[in-house]
Chains A and B, each alone.
Chain A
């Protein structure tokens, strides 16, 4: 029976070690700000814009972090535990974490910024599944902004006027951004409106602004691309005389370079159009570290290379 005794002893010791005095007494920092956790940087940026000085936002996935490769740290446990509200993308972007957010909804508001999207606003990728990369359609991001405003007001009615004011101001900026993107894309000759990229994060972007988006891989960063994909892509580029293709900050360059070399062998030169931000924004403090800056940057790069 030594077996059972050993285990019992170890478990008892464990309980003593962690159980005593560790019942995290939530300390309010008393600055009166809502502590909000966002999963992606884009969502964090949205909340900062609408919440203003009434919120303190932490984004779990920082600059350059691919949500598909995100790993939680011990500190994230504390951050999530201490949060007053949690905002996430939804549509399965966060994978199994989505279930956790739904569970946490029992104790604190956990909100998918896509909660108000209608079924037909989402791109279908299979009979039952939708494309989660909603943020590159600025019109849809305005819907997400509405959800953020609504939830902030519901949970902090004292500052309703401020949230409403910030929201209206920010929506104006988003609408201007939306027009800017459309105007710029329209400058590309119609037969050149093809966006070839290593990662299918731009489905909504293409759909909304009239670009044909071609991906080498599926949406999935990890799914293996076959040699047939590379050949198909090369033939497509050569036949349609596509001038440039794009890589992204969070996807390896290898696959793309294979395609370029293939095309060069057939006498068609394709250049790398520049780096687009896809699943994560740029460094904080830079222009591309905000949602608006990121979308503008991507649009400028695309238009410059294809015009």
Chain B
């Protein structure tokens, strides 16, 4: 069963991140996951200073608060005219810097880094179980990232038209009476919640990678947002399965191999996508050359 739980958690994280990643690609904000992975530092330091423990609950609350603050600030800057990449860069570096200052002021003597107190490890999924009323209910991570996945799917499914229009053409969306800013904030909150919850279950690289790579792969394979979302979920889940078995063969880090597999799938799509692939484009160019030669 261990294999199943680990792959399931990997697939659920990949699924959640892929769906959200599709909207981020469209808005050119994919690095927001990496941003959140750093900017939560002051949150966990403050949580530690307030509670005096490194237990996961206060750490998660602190991280979640800072995650929300991060996406809120990024959105605020961006809608006031700062470039998307600059907005991300400004917010996460300053918050991370604030975290480092806090660490150097108050927690020098203690092991206090994100790796240690916030980031989980997907390998330990099977043992971190949830017991409800004396009954073993499976790994905690499955419940946590599973609920994120379902919540993401439901919200995106119900408000698909609004999210789509708001991402592609905010001006048109506003003209049609859609509360653009509200939907931006909802999407950003989903991203913040999903990333922070997943950091706790599986660590950072898997989340940051899955937020970008499957969506970018799907972008090469599909021209419609709905198709792109489906493809990205499939790519994400496939990466989790292939990654797990490569980790078994190599005896290596599981999340590392999962992201590596996603990257390999991206390379395949980059080369061989029927519409946007390098190979098909070269072939097309040669054909048109022959025609006009």
Using a CB–CB cutoff of 8 Å, the interface residues on chain A facing chain B are 2-4, 6-7, 10-11, 14-15, 17-19, 22-24, 68-69, 71-77, 80-81, 92-93, 95-97, 99-100, 103-104, 125-129, 131-132, 200, 217-220, 222-224, 226
Complex CA–CA separation, A24 to B3 (angstroms): 9
**Neighbour of B116 across the interface among A15, A68, A100, A218, CB < 8 A:** A68
Complex CA–CA separation, A126 to B52 (angstroms): 9
Decide yes or no: A92 and B127 within 8 Å by CB, A126-B107, A218-B108 being known contacts: no
**Which chain A residues lie closer than 8 Å to B110 at the CB level?**
125-126, 129, 218-220
List the A residue with the shortest CB-CB distance to B3. A18
User: What's the least CB distance linking B281 to chain A, in Å?
Assistant: 28
B115 touches A68 (CB 8 A): yes
Q: Does B22 contact A (CB under 8 A)?
A: no
**Neighbour of B112 across the interface among A73, A128, A200, A220, CB < 8 A:** A220
**Neighbour of B244 across the interface among A74, A96, A217, CB < 8 A:** A74
B253 touches A73 (CB 8 A): yes
Decide yes or no: A75 and B251 within 8 Å by CB, A2-B230, A7-B15, A97-B121 being known contacts: yes
Q: Apart from A10-B234, A10-B237, A17-B7, what are 9 other A-B pairs with CB-CB below 8 Å?
A: A19-B4, A71-B121, A73-B247, A74-B248, A77-B2, A77-B6, A100-B128, A125-B109, A218-B110
A74 touches B247 (CB 8 A): yes
Complex CA–CA separation, A49 to B121 (angstroms): 31
Complex CA–CA separation, A226 to B100 (angstroms): 11
Q: Does B117 contact A (CB under 8 A)?
A: yes
Complex CA–CA separation, A73 to B247 (angstroms): 7
**Which chain A residues lie closer than 8 Å to B248 at the CB level?**
74
**Which chain B residues lie closer than 8 Å to A131 at the CB level?**
109
B104 touches A226 (CB 8 A): yes
User: How many B residues are at the interface, by size bracket?
Assistant: 35 or more
B2 touches A24 (CB 8 A): yes
**Neighbour of A103 across the interface among B4, B127, B244, B256, CB < 8 A:** B127
List the B residue with the shortest CB-CB distance to A78. B2
List the A residue with the shortest CB-CB distance to B12. A11
User: What's the least CB distance linking B11 to chain A, in Å?
Assistant: 6
**Which chain A residues lie closer than 8 Å to B15 at the CB level?**
7
B253 touches A72 (CB 8 A): yes
Chain B 100-133 near chain A by CB (<8 Å), digits 1 or 0: 1001100111111101110111011011110000
B8 touches A14 (CB 8 A): yes
A10 touches B3 (CB 8 A): no
**Which chain B residues lie closer than 8 Å to A74 at the CB level?**
123, 244, 247-248, 250-254, 257
B119 touches A96 (CB 8 A): yes
**Neighbour of A100 across the interface among B2, B11, B124, B157, CB < 8 A:** B124
B108 touches A22 (CB 8 A): no
Decide yes or no: A73 and B2 within 8 Å by CB, A6-B233, A95-B116 being known contacts: no
**Which chain B residues lie closer than 8 Å to A68 at the CB level?**
111, 113, 115-116
User: What's the least CB distance linking A72 to chain B, in Å?
Assistant: 4
Q: Does B54 contact A (CB under 8 A)?
A: yes
**Which chain B residues lie closer than 8 Å to A96 at the CB level?**
56, 116-117, 119-121
Complex CA–CA separation, A72 to B254 (angstroms): 8
A23 touches B233 (CB 8 A): no
Complex CA–CA separation, A15 to B237 (angstroms): 12
User: What's the least CB distance linking B243 to chain A, in Å?
Assistant: 10
**Which chain A residues lie closer than 8 Å to B233 at the CB level?**
6-7, 10
Decide yes or no: A103 and B129 within 8 Å by CB, A24-B2, A77-B123 being known contacts: yes
Chain B 141-153 near chain A by CB (<8 Å), digits 1 or 0: 0000000000001
List 5 tightest A-B contacts by C-beta distance, closest first: A218-B108, A125-B109, A74-B247, A75-B251, A72-B123
Decide yes or no: A222 and B128 within 8 Å by CB, A3-B153, A74-B247 being known contacts: no
**Which chain A residues lie closer than 8 Å to B3 at the CB level?**
18, 22
Complex CA–CA separation, A94 to B257 (angstroms): 23
List the A residue with the shortest CB-CB distance to B54. A92
Q: Does B53 contact A (CB under 8 A)?
A: yes
Q: List 11 A-B contacts (CB under 8 A).
A: A3-B229, A17-B7, A18-B7, A72-B123, A73-B254, A76-B123, A92-B54, A126-B107, A128-B53, A223-B108, A223-B112
**Which chain B residues lie closer than 8 Å to A2 at the CB level?**
230
B251 touches A132 (CB 8 A): no
**Which chain A residues lie closer than 8 Å to B283 at the CB level?**
none
List the B residue with the shortest CB-CB distance to A123. B109
Complex CA–CA separation, A3 to B150 (angstroms): 12
Q: Does B241 contact A (CB under 8 A)?
A: yes
**Which chain B residues lie closer than 8 Å to A92 at the CB level?**
54, 111
Decide yes or no: A223 and B247 within 8 Å by CB, A14-B8, A125-B110 being known contacts: no
**Which chain B residues lie closer than 8 Å to A6 at the CB level?**
230, 233-234
